[in-house]
């Protein structure tokens, strides 16, 4: 019986996993292949799944990490994918705080071993964050190293943010931890076929140190729903005050006096806004350590309140 290949996309928060996944999907579609995608999020909602085309079989596993708290749900989902669809490949996008070997363990249960095989663990590295990783606490540094150590292919992404000699240093560090293949990319663009086929190392479950998102890493999430727009300048000023332990923010936002809704991405302190063609629920998801949830809620609510007052004044002048 033909075993369905599984590709595990690993890598820290905001490193470029979804960006890479979108390219895999395009490539598979170009070859008329049917694929299944499993997206795991530590938070209670997924923003990234809106990036997956409607014709792709998609499953969201939310509110926990498939490497620890919701491992059983991954197995159930893989089985249902196999039984209900005729798939050529399955892609699993891990949370940014997952340990790749523990995701692998969840994929090699006795119920799955005769039906699937894990072809590659592709670890995406944010080159700039890697270069500066000593600024992170030891637990996070260890996670970054573990993700690199157990990748069968390393994608060194966001390389345009570094100087040539810095890239050389990052490559040296990475090869020291894992001498398997690596590929340098910007926007996760590269030789997609090489990532799918190339595999110098047999993918096996190995002894490893654990680092679980909630117990060991103390990762917390917050979902904030907007009722009003906020002023862009005030929002950006506020972003610049956030601690570096807020590793990731993503979601949809609307700015005062701008009718557009933007996909907002914030990774390693760098914000990015992409105008959306359609309406989305205006929500931000925060992922980090020591999240001061009440403070974040209060500060965002304050920005909304100011704009709601502007709108009231505006409306009263137009009456
Ligand atoms: N400057 C730069 N930005 C990039 C590159 N690749 C991806 N990004 C941006 O980085 C942000 C995060 O990218 P994603 O692909 O969502 O990262 P991710 O690993 O899926 O994020 P999580 O799933 O939240 O962990 C987005 O704003 C991307 O557009 C790159 O090569 N250079």
- 24 found inside a domain: yes
Query: Where does residue 207 rank: exposed (0-12), middle (13-18), buried (19+ CB within 10 A)?
Result: exposed
Whether pLDDT at 216 is above 90: no
Cβ atoms within 10 Å of 65's Cβ, excluding its own: 26
All residues at 6 or more sequence positions from 121 whose CB lies less than 8 Å from its CB, including other chains: 8, 10, 100, 103, 104, 150, 151, 152, 153, 203
Instruction: Give, for 61, the enclosing helix (H) or strand (E).
Output: strand 57-61
Asked whether residue 59 is assigned to any structural domain, the reply reads: yes
| pLDDT score of 206 more than 80 | no
User: Can you tell me the distance from the alpha carbon of 74 to that of 91, in angstroms, rounded to the nearest whole number?
Assistant: 12
Residue 225 forms part of a structural domain: yes
Residue nearest to atom 12 of ligand 1 (CA): 14
In the chain, the number of structural domains is: 2
Q: What is the pLDDT of residues 123-174, one digit of tens each?
A: 999 999 999 999 999 999 999 999 999 999 999 999 999 999 999 999 999 9
CB distance 48 to ligand 1 below 6 Å: yes
3-state helix/strand/coil string of 224-244:
EECCCCECHHHHHHHHCCCCC
Its pTM stands at: 0.91
Range of the domain at 244: 219-318
Residue 202: inside a domain: no
Q: Are 131 and 169 in contact (CB under 8 A)?
A: yes
Q: pLDDT per residue over 23-39, tens digit each? A: 999 999 999 999 999 99
Taking the CA of residue 158 as reference, the ligand 1 atom at the shortest distance is 31
Residues 305 and 193 in one domain: no
Residue position matching structure tokens 């936002």: 253
Rounded to the nearest angstrom, the distance between the alpha carbon of 241 and the centre of ligand 1 is 21
147 lines ligand 1 (CB under 6 A): no
Q: Would 211 be classed as within a structural domain?
A: no
Q: Do the domain assignments include residue 188?
A: yes
Query: Which tens digit of pLDDT belongs to each residue from 175-203?
Result: 999 987 778 777 778 777 777 765 555 66
Residue 16 CA to ligand 1 center (angstroms) comes to 4
- Are both 34 and 145 inside the same structural domain? yes
Instruction: Classify residue 204: in a domain, yes or no.
Output: no
- If you take atom 21 of ligand 1, which residue's CA is the nearest one? 14
Token pair recorded at residue 16: 């470029």
- Top-confidence residue, 130 or 64: 130
Distance 244 CA to ligand 1 centre (A): 17
Output 223 or 70, whichever has higher pLDDT: 223
Half-sphere exposure of residue 177: CA atoms within 13 angstroms, side-chain side: 22
pLDDT value of residue 185? 79
Q: What is the CATH number of the domain that holds 282?
A: 3.30.1220.10
98 three-state secondary structure:
coil
Q: What mean pLDDT is reported for the chain?
A: 89
Domain boundary residue, one of 166, 197, 228: 197
| CATH code where residue 74 lies | 3.40.50.300
Ligand 1 pocket member 15 (CB < 6 A): yes
Pocket perturbation via mutation, ligand 1, pick of 10, 18, 276 by most ligand atoms within 8 A of CB: 18
């Amino acid at each position: 019986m033909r075993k369905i290949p599984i590709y595990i996309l690993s890598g820290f928060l905001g490193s470029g996993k979804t960006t890479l996944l979108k390219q895999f999907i395009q490539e598979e579609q170009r070859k008329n292949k049917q694929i299944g995608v499993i997206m795991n999020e530590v938070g209670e909602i997924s923003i990234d799944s809106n990036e997956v085309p409607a014709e792709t079989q998609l499953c969201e596993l939310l509110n926990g990490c498939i490497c620890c708290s919701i491992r059983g749900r991954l197995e159930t989902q893989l089985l249902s994918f196999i039984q209900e669809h005729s798939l050529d490949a399955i892609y699993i996008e891990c949370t940014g705080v997952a340990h790749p070997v523990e995701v692998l363990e969840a994929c090699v249960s006795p119920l799955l071993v005769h039906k699937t095989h894990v072809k590659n663990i592709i670890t995406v590295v944010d080159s700039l964050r890697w270069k500066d990783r000593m600024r992170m606490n030891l637990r996070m540094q260890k996670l970054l190293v573990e993700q690199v150590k157990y990748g069968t292919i390393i994608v060194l992404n966001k390389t345009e943010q570094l100087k040539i000699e810095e890239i050389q240093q990052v490559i040296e560090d990475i090869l020291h931890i894992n001498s398997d293949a690596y590929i340098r990319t910007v926007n996760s663009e590269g030789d997609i076929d090489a990532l799918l086929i190339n595999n110098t190392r047999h993918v096996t479950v190995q002894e490893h140190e654990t680092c679980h998102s909630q117990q060991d890493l103390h990762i917390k999430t917050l979902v904030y729903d907007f009722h009003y727009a906020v002023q862009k300048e005030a929002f950006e000023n506020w972003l610049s005050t956030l601690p570096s332990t807020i590793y990731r923010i993503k979601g949809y936002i609307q700015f005062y006096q701008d009718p557009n809704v933007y996909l907002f991405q914030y990774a390693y302190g760098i914000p990015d806004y992409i105008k959306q063609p359609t309406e989305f629920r205006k929500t931000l998801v925060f992922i980090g350590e020591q999240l001061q949830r009440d403070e974040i809620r209060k500060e965002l609510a304050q920005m909304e309140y100011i704009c709601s007052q502007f709108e009231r004044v505006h409306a009263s002048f137009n009456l």
